Amino acid sequence: MIRRLKRFLMAAAVLSTCGVLLMAAGWLLSPFPVKRLERWPASPLVTDRHGREMLRVVGDDEQWRFVVPLERISPQLIQATIAVEDERFLLHGGIDPPAVLRAIGQNLGSLRVVSGASTLTMQICRMLDDRPRTFAAKMIEALRALQLESIYSKQQILQTYLNIAPYGHNIRGVEAAARAYFGKSAEQLSLGEAALLAGLPQSPNRLRPDRSPEKARARREIVLRRMAELGMIDDQQLALASSEPIPTTLCKAPKAAPHAAWMSLQRRLGGGRTTLDLSLQSEMERIAARHRLKLPPGCDVAMVVIDIPSGDILAMVGSADANHTRHGQVNGCTARRSPGSTLKPFIYAAAFEERLLSPQSVVHDIPIERAGWSPSNFDKTFAGDLPVADALRRSLNVPAIMVAEGVGLPRCLGLIEAAGVRLPANTLARGGLAVVVGSVEITLLDLTNAYATIGRGGVRRSPRLLMDDPTDESPAIEANVCAAIDEILSSRVRRPQSMAEWPAHQVPWFAWKTGTSSGRRDAWAVGHNRRFAAGVWAGLFSGAGESRLVGAGVAEPLLADIFALPAIRTDKDPLPARPWIVERPLPPPRELGEELAITSPRNGATFLAMSGQAVIHPRVNRKENMTWFLNGRLIGDSAKRLILTPGQYELRCVDASGKYSAVEFTVR
């Protein structure tokens, strides 16, 4: 009976062994699932240009995993992992025979499994196809490890392991672990921190330092002593690393520059390294928070800084308080708002390029009327004849409108767009000449980039938010014209009000322009200093007007503070512009006007006769005397005030040269 039982057990053992070998052979002959190994989902991570974390988001598999190359992992962490997990990693081909023999001896001596002899390569294979830990599974892992070693180099295998190994909770990979436990990247870890992480994959949740700090400390000590035994560290390094504190809480994910961070994720779902500099960003946020206290209630602030040589966005403050329940998520840098007078430098630049004007040319600030629109200046006065430079510095509306008229509005809009401002598709038809004073909506980011174009000598670059974004550039404005605009708007000629009392040597050089939209809904200040371009917007995100929202009083002080920052300021004045000859001077104001037109009443209008009569005041877009006809009859002086009964009417005016304009209207 006993003999039969022994024979049965031997046969069963042989059959099971053969079955395992056949199964393993099948796995060995099947191709290694390389694609599955290379497609571990990564969690989106956004950093600044120096690698400092701005935003991290959990991955689609609800795991935290940030894939990093081996060169961005602390060498001490690599050494610690090899020391405690697979000390002969660089010598074996996927299976470590001495470790296997040692494991067999330990397991037989203990009559239970105390060692599995798994190499780093075998552990990767187990993570790829997680199955119950049996003898058959171990055989499959070993054969898969041989396959993996034939496909990948040792460096690739090590990099893969460090990016997918478990480190407790839902944390995968050393980069996610370093950020979760220490709030830093894997390349910045100290020896003690590296040793602690290296010990976690043995039993990730049991050894988590935030839950079991003493167990984590004991495991770290094992790792450090093993490193010392292998000659990786000396006794002094061991002692110092052993004294390092154990993290007892997980580090909260930072949310720096949230508007730029989320904008980066919208452009690239996996995140990436942005062009922002968090040091400058923090300074900008402090400036925004401080100035917001001086604004009317409910008003907000947006600011952006662009590096002129590269086009990199270095700082972006979408709103002063990103945590505000109503407006915190609004990015004022990309919201379309009316720019007020900030486009005027580009109107004059177009005239300069056409050699229709020079900074010394005389323009006219006089009352005009265009299709029933009578533009005026901010102070409701007119300055008469004055140089172009003064008209631009004083931001006078009428001269800029007449210059746009003389140059041609399509040419002006073309230059504005070439400089980097994306205008609405129907700008010409919808805005007309009112574009000069801000009748269309643009973004602060585009406007600031257009001023960066001026600071770059007329070369436009697309603003870049991610470091690996492609760059493109194109000529937009003549370099000498840009230099002339800079001279006109220079802080050497006129100072911001906040710097009025500063000694001359303390005032930095920069060129800037302010703007206020119609109804005082938006206050702007934008400029550059040849190194950086900066833009500021202040207003209510609701679009409501506020009497105190004036560019010079609200936005200009913020811009001056930006250009006074040590990291931004420059005291070097640029070279002056070379003078040029005006080849085709703009014609005088009368010739710049539209064709003779009756502006009131409008053609096709209908008036209601109250008590049987309607009173109408005819107007024309010329100041000279006109000859007036009503239904073909000369009406002379009575044209200033017509009292009409119900009926159909034709009103006609004729100037001294015989040109005429006529409208038809109805009185009911």
Q: Which residues are catalytic?
A: 85, 341
Q: What tokens were used for 32? A: 């290694």
Per residue, what are the HEC states of 319-387? CCCCCCCCCCCCCCCCCEECCCCCCHHHHHHHHHHCCCCCCCCEEEECCCCECCECCCCCCCCCCEEEE
Provide the CA 458 distance to its chain's centre, in angstroms: 23
Provide the CA 602 distance to its chain's centre, in angstroms: 47
Quick one: residue 378, left, alpha or beta (phi over 0 = left, psi -120 to 50 = alpha)? alpha
Q: Is the peptide bond between 601 and the residue preceding it cis, with omega within 30 degrees of 0?
A: yes
If one counts every other C-beta atom within 10 angstroms of the C-beta of residue 26, the result is: 11
| Under 8 Å between Cβ of 347 and 403 | yes
Rounded to whole angstroms, the Cα distance separating 331 from 334 reads 6
The residue type at 650: E
| Under 8 Å between Cβ of 417 and 385 | no
Give the β-pairing of 271-273 and 300-307. Answer: unpaired
Which 3 state secondary structure label does DSSP give 132?
A: coil
Provide the CA 576 distance to its chain's centre, in angstroms: 33
Which 3 state secondary structure label does DSSP give 431?
A: helix
131 φ/ψ angles, rounded to the nearest 5 degrees: -145, 165
Looking at residue 551, the DSSP 8-state letter turns out to be: I
Cα distances (Å, whole numbers) of residue 464 to 136, 268, 532? 54, 13, 14
Q: What tokens were used for 25? A: 């052979």
| Buried/exposed 425-449: b ≥16 CB within 10 Å, e otherwise | eebeeebbbbbbbbbbbbbbbbbbb
Per residue, what are the HEC states of 45-103? EEECCCCCEEEECCCCCCCEECCCCHHHCCHHHHHHHHHHHCCCCCCCCCCCHHHHHHH
| Under 8 Å between Cβ of 507 and 499 | yes
If one counts every other C-beta atom within 10 angstroms of the C-beta of residue 471, the result is: 11
Looking at residue 44, the DSSP 8-state letter turns out to be: P
The residue type at 202: Q
